[in-house]
Each structure stands twice: as C-alpha cells, then as structure tokens.
Structure 1
Amino acid sequence: MEKLAIEGGKPVSNHWIPISKPIIGDEEVREVVRVLRSGLFREGELTRRFEEEFREKCGSKYALAVNSGTAALHLAFMTMIKPGDEVIVPSFTFAASVNTIVLAGGRPVFADIEERTFTLDPDDVLEKITSRTVAIEPVHLYGQPADIKALSEIAEDHGLKLVWDA
C-alpha cells in the first residue's frame, strides 16, 4: 500500500476544489476602490448608508456593520452569554460558529444535522435543550437553509434566542 499524502505520499490530485467562488463584477471593484481611496473603511458614508438600508430592510431598531461574520457572531454572543450558558450548534459547521461561543464564555452543545441539508436537525435540538441553554445557532450551509419554521417554534416555546449564521 502506498503512503497517504499526509504521510509524505503522492497526492491523488493537485487540483484544488473550492467550496464556493464569489462573483465579483466591475461595479463591485469600482465601489471597493472608491472606499479604499476615501480612507474611510469603518465610519464612512457608505458604511452609514449600508447600516441604515440594512436596518430598514430588516425592520430593526439598530444595525451595526462589522468586518466579518465571525466578528458579528462574537458581538452577538458577547451581548447574551454568561459563563456556563449553553448554545446549541450543528455538529457540521465552520469553526467560527463554535469559537465565538467559547470566546464569549459559553459552552457549545452539538446537535445532529439533517442528512439532506447538512443543517440542524430540529428533533435533535429538542433533545439537547437543558436549563442552561440560552440560544440556538442554526447555520445555513452550502445554499441549504436550516428549517427556519421549526427552529423558530422551538426557540419561542423554550424562551431561547436564535442567532442565525449564514
């Protein structure tokens, strides 16, 4: 038997398979250059306009733009988690979904995923709820949305917050 690539053997393929490829057109490039040339990366007019339009579209009282999904999750969990609080997360997800809970002092509790969508299995979420559970973090993955209706009902029935990760 040949050595595996991770043991110094020959890789089966040198072709990298990307998970996703963003579509970046001329308009996106122009807008990024405009922001870079303005020197206002955080508090500029475009950021304020984005926050306002996003807030209105979501029907929210507030909106705050951050630099990444990881930063958004960290900020959300810092506002709601106390040491020892539990957050139910899918067993198949990106590291930030879990790391941000731990950084905020919480404890991730892994629930099974649905075979068809790779997203949280609402039935298993129900089994994972304890007196220490404060939130559920569904993750929409690879274009597959989590079961929004079922997870929203579970959260409402048990007085839990939902932190959507997409």
Structure 2
Amino acid sequence: MAHAPVQAPGILAQAPAPSSVPAPGPGPSSAQDPAFVPFAPPALGLHELADVVAALESGWLSTGPRVAALEAAFAAYTGASHAVAVNSGTAALHLALLAAGVGAGDEVVMPPLTFCATANAAIHAGATPVFADVQPDTFNLDPGAAEAAITERTRALLPVHFAGRPADLGALGGLARARGLALVEDAAHCVEGVSATGKIGSVGDFTCFSFYATKNLTTGEGGMLTTGDEGAAAFARTASLHGMSRNAWT
C-alpha cells in the first residue's frame, strides 16, 4: 500500500530530494584508487537488504522486537543463558566489567595485543589495565604471564580471542576461579569460535562480541554481551538503556 508523502517542518523540509544527493565516490575496487586495499568485503545480499527494509518499515529503529529476537537467537546459538544487545563491543566490555564489580582502584589483566577498546573499557570502569604477555604461537593471553600479573588489586582476567582463535579458557578459567576473579572474554573476533571447554559465549562469566563492519558477523555497528548470570544480564540491559527497566513492546 502506497503512502502519501508528508511535508516535514524545519530542516527536514529543506532536505534535498534523493535524486539530488551526490553519488558516493569510487568504491574499494575502483581503479581510480589503486592504493586502497579493502580489509574484507562484508557478505551482504538481498536477504540482508530485505531485513533492513522490513526493520525500517516496522518503525522500530533501535531497541524493539527484532532486537529481542536477535538476543534470543544469539543466546541459543552460543549456548549462553542470556544475551544482551548493545551498541558496540566496547559497550559490552564496559558493562561486563561493571557487572563483575570492577571499579576504581581495581586492576584488570589483559593482553597488549588487542584493539585499544579492551583497555579503554577497563579505564571507563575506573580500573587500571595491566598487560600480560601473549603466547608466541597463538597470540593469545599466556596463562602463566596472566598469573604473574595478578596482584591484590586484580578483579578480573580479560583474555582476547585473537583473530578468532580461542584463548586457553581451561587454564584461564581455572586461574580465575582459584583466585576469585571474574573471567571476561573479548570475543570481538570470535563469534563462531569453539574452545576445548565449549562454544565461545557460554564459557566465561561474561563474553563480549562486536558486530562492527570488519567483523565476521556485522550489523554495521553493535555488539552483544552473553552471561550465565541472570542478575548481571538484567543489570547490563538496564544500564545500557540509562536505567530504563521497562520496554515499550511487551
């Protein structure tokens, strides 16, 4: 069914017609920009386009029924008890650390071989990132180096599953349990990962995923936090919405 156009007031009324919007510049494959080397092209097709159109037509452009459905599907896929959709992998890390009780004066042990968001999340929580070396063959956090970096101020271990290869969650999880620490996984690269201890997303206290444009599962921007702790999931969901604990669609 066609809808008649609505004349919007203010600045929207002055917006150019679609035909007058300048076309984008040359794409990554253009010979006009031979120095551009694409990181990886996203695998997006007609199915994804149809879903985007359906989402826009639904009127729910942010949180809503489709986000709730994604959370349920992601929890089922990873084997996690709870999945909380957020606006970025960084937000997932920040919320996970807060839910784990990390705060001012605490330390979080992590590898230096990672994107700055891993350390920034600890700083945002008021803690200090402490770097421990990686294993030379996997580029993942070395359990021995992590143990040596633990002090009386350490509150969490934050391994990064580098390039999609799971860290040694058996050793790191055992270390975290023995020392009374939270295990928060940075799984920005590892949506489909499986470790010896289980599917990534269902092992640690918290697992943080990124859906950024360069990730193997992308929504353009976005992220997901998985956990087995119902209270922590409820906290993360409410905190991600600035304290709003009720939604508008159920």
1:66 alignment counterpart: 86
1:76 paired to 2:96: yes
What percent of counterpart residues are identical? 44
- RMSD over aligned CA atoms reads 1.9
2:192 alignment counterpart: none
Whichever residue aligns with residue 107 of structure 1, its letter is T
Distance 1:135 1:63 in 2: 20
Q: How does 1:51-62 map to 2 (within 5 A)?
A: 51-56=71-76, 58-60=79-81, 62=82
Structure with greater helix percent: 1
Distance 2:38 2:111 in 1: 24
- Classify the secondary structure of the residue corresponding to 1:77: helix
TM-score, with normalisation over the residues of structure 1?
0.82
> Which of 118, 121, 125 is residue 97 of structure 1 equivalent to?
118
Q: How far does residue 27 in structure 1 lie from its aligned partner after superposition?
A: 1.8
1:7-31 residue CA offsets vs partner (Å, 9 max, x unmatched): xxxxxx934362x443223322222
- Classify the secondary structure of the residue corresponding to 1:155: helix
Distance 2:54 2:45 in 1: 14
2:161 alignment counterpart: 140
1:31-80 residue CA offsets vs partner (Å, 9 max, x unmatched): 222223323133221111122333455342x4321121111111112222
- Classify the secondary structure of the residue corresponding to 1:81: coil
1:86 alignment counterpart: 107
1:114 alignment counterpart: 135
- Classify the secondary structure of the residue corresponding to 1:113: coil
Structure 1 portions without partners, runs of 5+: 1-12
Q: How does 1:123-162 map to 2 (within 5 A)?
A: 123-162=144-183
Greater relative contact order (CA < 8 Å, ≥ 6 in sequence) = 2
TM-score, with normalisation over the residues of structure 2?
0.56
Q: How far does residue 144 in structure 1 lie from its aligned partner after superposition?
A: 1.5
> Which of 41, 56, 64 is residue 44 of structure 1 equivalent to?
64
Distance 1:22 1:153, change over 3 A: farther
Distance 1:15 1:63 in 2: 37
Structure number with bigger Rg? 2
Whichever residue aligns with residue 150 of structure 2, its letter is I
1:24 paired to 2:44: yes
Whichever residue aligns with residue 67 of structure 2, its letter is T
Runs of 4+ off more than 3 Å: 53-59
Structure with greater strand percent: 2
1:7 alignment counterpart: none
Structure 2 portions without partners, runs of 5+: 1-33, 188-250
Question: How many pairs align?
Answer: 152
